[in-house]
Chain A
Amino acid sequence: MTGLKELMQPHRIAMMLVFAALVIWCAVSLRWDWIPQYAPLALEGLWATIWILAVSTFLGFLLAVPLGLAQAVGPWYLSIPARTFCTIIRGTPLLLQIWLLYYGLGSLFPQFPWIRSSELWPYLRQAWPYAVLALTLSYAGYEGEVMRGAFSGVAKGQLEAAKSFGMPRFTMFRRIWLPQAVRNVLPTLGGETILQLKATPLVATITVVEIYAVSSRVRADTFIVYEPLLLLALVYMAIAGVIALVFRRLERG
């Protein structure tokens, strides 16, 4: 009740009216007649965006855990390579990494007959494996650094208590160290995942058809510029909202 009352302040009502007017104006006076024709492609693109995001953040996080651990407590022969990897990934543009993998690595492979004849070739000749790889490595690089801090940040007494009860090292890692480390950086990881979402359009540059590529296609085909971009912005905001909700749920649980 109080929420509703607070919402019904004069200045808020004015803002809502302005916003509603804007939406109505967009709906009425802009061109949306292209939507039915491109809807199937847009759905495909949306799906590509979502699964590329999900797979690359999941795999990236799996990589980030050992990268963070190696930097936090690893011996020099593990911590130096891990730190080098994170520094390179964080120090170079993602677009460059995507292109280096796709145009560099991807164009090297066909020169080896044994690769061309291998079972993997049907995948390696497509663009999406390079897109997923680049995004995964990027996420791993950033989150490796985050996890380094997360692992170091767990209070020593927490681990000492586990140790003093004879908990084997891996059990201690799985039951105490990792959950506490992840819990401490969940808000950061949520933000980074949203950044990762907004990095996905870059893979359109290597011919992966995700949602941004679809909006470009609409523009190229129909010369309608503004409307697809507006819709695109809405789609990204919706996905970002879902990510934020998921992480808020995780933080509470």
Chain B
Amino acid sequence: MDTATAAASVPEADARREAIRVEDLHKSFGNLEVLKGVSLTARQGDVVAIIGGSGSGKSTMLRCINFLETPSSGRIVIGGEEVAMRGDGSPANQKQIERIRTKLAMVFQQFNLWTHRTLLENVIEVPVHVLKVPKSDAVARARQLLERVGLGGKEETYPAYLSGGQQQRAAIARALAVDPSAMLFDEPTSALDPELVGEVLTVIRDLAAEGRTMLLVTHEMKFAREVANHVVYLYQGRIEEQGPPAEVFGNPQSDRLKQFLSSVA
């Protein structure tokens, strides 16, 4: 009886399309090996939280997925399509990597909204100038998205006039505007004042609830436990432990993870 349900549930889990697969990813900066062979699969609808101490390689891993960092070796497969790599790890086909990047929207720690454009212009920039969506459509959609992240009425404001929390929510709207197949969050709340963290987490929580595929590098353990369905703990460039949040947080196996969790709690 038990084996039957287990067997039945496995193909069901596998039936969801694979969104991001990372295989044996290595990355060195000079002599310093930051990633020492990381493998990870995220299926559609997965929310994968990546946790770990500073210098554990979590941001580097995320940035290797869309080739903002050039991996030293390994394979990156996005939506079933493997990114062609040269011997040095750089993308071999500029057109391919640009096309793949348009499906992976990134949200940065420092927001990185374009400072010379208003919020609305920030949100329509990629749809209009990269994806070639008609401008009126892009504007209508951008207004909806800004409304959705609680920034209705701020369309004509420049990023510099907004709080960090507002900027990060606008950055999330910008990411949603490209209709991404997966979203990469690189410590989205680490640069925020404590009282502004909540508003950004609320937006991310909503996105997780609607079944968006997300990779989330975060220091917010409570939040990771709440929204993620898979948690990866990185230690010195390797995956030390991973699993469902209840297990990783509730019943950590390795001493390092126990130590880490007690240090951030």
Contacts and interface: CB of A to CB of B under 8 A. Distances in A.
Main secondary structure of the interface of A (DSSP, over half): helix
A158 interface: yes
Given A164-B68, A164-B106, A166-B101, A171 B129 contact: yes
A183 B97 CA distance: 30
Given A157-B112, A161-B108, A167 B126 contact: yes
Interface in A23-81: none
Given A167-B130, A180-B116, A157 B98 contact: no
Contact of B112 (A160, A166, A175): A160
A166 B115 contact: no
A153 interface: no
B156 to A, nearest CB: 14
Chain A interface residue bracket vs B: 10 to 19
A177 B102 CA distance: 19
Given A171-B130, A180-B115, A163 B108 contact: no
A180 B112 CA distance: 13
Contacts of A157: 108, 110, 112
B112 A161 contact: yes
A163 B184 CA distance: 14
Interface string B80-104: 0000000000000010011111111
B66 interface: yes
A179 B68 contact: no
A165 B112 contact: no
Contacts of B98: 166-168
A148 B4 CA distance: 67
A163 B94 CA distance: 11
B260 interface: no
Interface in B87-143: 94, 97-106, 108, 110, 112-116, 125-126, 129-130
A163 to B, nearest CB: 6
A194 interface: no
B178 interface: yes
Interface of B: 66, 68, 94, 97-106, 108, 110, 112-116, 125-126, 129-130, 178, 184
B130 A168 contact: yes
27 contacts: A155-B112, A157-B110, A157-B112, A158-B112, A158-B115, A160-B108, A161-B108, A161-B114, A163-B101, A164-B68, A164-B104, A164-B108, A164-B184, A165-B101, A165-B102, A165-B106, A165-B130, A165-B178, A166-B97, A166-B100, A166-B130, A167-B98, A167-B126, A171-B129, A180-B114, A180-B116, A183-B116
A51 B116 CA distance: 31
B151 to A, nearest CB: 18
B99 A166 contact: yes
Given A171-B129, A175-B125, A166 B102 contact: yes
A168 B98 CA distance: 7
A89 interface: no
Interface centre among B102, B106, B130 (most CB of A within 10 A): B130
A157 B191 CA distance: 14
Contacts of A180: 114-116
Given A160-B112, A175-B129, 17 more contacts: A155-B112, A157-B110, A158-B112, A160-B68, A161-B112, A161-B114, A165-B101, A165-B178, A166-B97, A166-B99, A166-B103, A169-B94, A171-B129, A175-B125, A179-B116, A180-B115, A180-B116
Contacts of B100: 166
A155 B97 CA distance: 23
